[in-house]
Structure 1
């Protein structure tokens, strides 16, 4: 069972690397993906999507209510209602995708438990990992996964390399 986490500095393309790898994989991928919410070219927050159902919501936003992280407020309703649910349902798929295990997602105890359940399973996992989180779940992923650092020089070739690792 292969487990890979990609990490790197903000904005380097971690989520893009994972999304491109998932597109190329000949496996049924389930889980979550996140994306920036841009308004007039400025980041206002992040969306969250259930890969399997396509259901989307707001992970965090400058205008949400909920726990604060930097300038954003984490929307626990969508994080748990879409994200945590998608991760729990992903145990029936060929590969679990978790974009991302980071400070915003780690505000939810339900999210943490869902990811721990995945880690305790025999499912292959492809995850995005926040580069400097010291949370025990992030530390566990660093210890148990093959961790790949994404940078400007390798990000274009990484999706194909990740696909090869899962074949």
Structure 2
């Protein structure tokens, strides 16, 4: 199967795995990635379009927008960078979406973009929030090979995922 969802607890290395897989694929990868914004402690999350390199703020402790825990989701950047990146990823050879979680699922445009990518039948790697029961997360769980990331498997799994996405 060339559609893989990885899941696991926060800070286990899901984003690092995605980046290492992208580096190993050697082809045009579309989609989006998230990373932490830190100032000593984690204060937010950044979002990046994998094809253009455009960066914005996904969520921050200081800001406006829907609240998830201590963070406010920046729907404008999520739509204009994250969802747009997924919409444009249809032109890429592979699609990576890091992450599909409670923050991202606050955007209707993001949900529609992910559904469009799922309907494309392109090889995909997604990170899936461990506890999400959103209908989109459930669809991915039923259609993708789901891999739980642990400290024990996180180093070797990059090769396994890369090989599956190359086919």
Q: For the superposition of Structure 1 and Structure 2, which TM-score range results when normalised by the shorter chain?
A: over 0.9
Give the unaligned 5+ runs of structure 1: none
Distance 1:64 1:29 in 2: 31
Instruction: List aligned pairs for 1:1-150, cutoff 5 A.
Output: 2-40=2-40, 42-150=41-149
Secondary structure in structure 2 of the residue aligned to 1:22: helix
Consecutive aligned runs of 4 or more in structure 1 exceeding 6 Å deviation: none
Give the unaligned 5+ runs of structure 2: none
Return the TM-score normalized by structure 1. Answer: 0.97
Distance 2:119 2:10 in 1: 28
Secondary structure in structure 1 of the residue aligned to 2:152: coil
Distance 1:38 1:160 in 2: 29
Return the TM-score normalized by structure 2. Answer: 0.97
State the shift of 1:119 in Å: 0.7
Note the aligned Cα RMSD (angstroms): 0.8
Deviation readout 1:48-68 (Å, 9 max, x if unpaired): 000100000000000010000
Aligned residues: 166
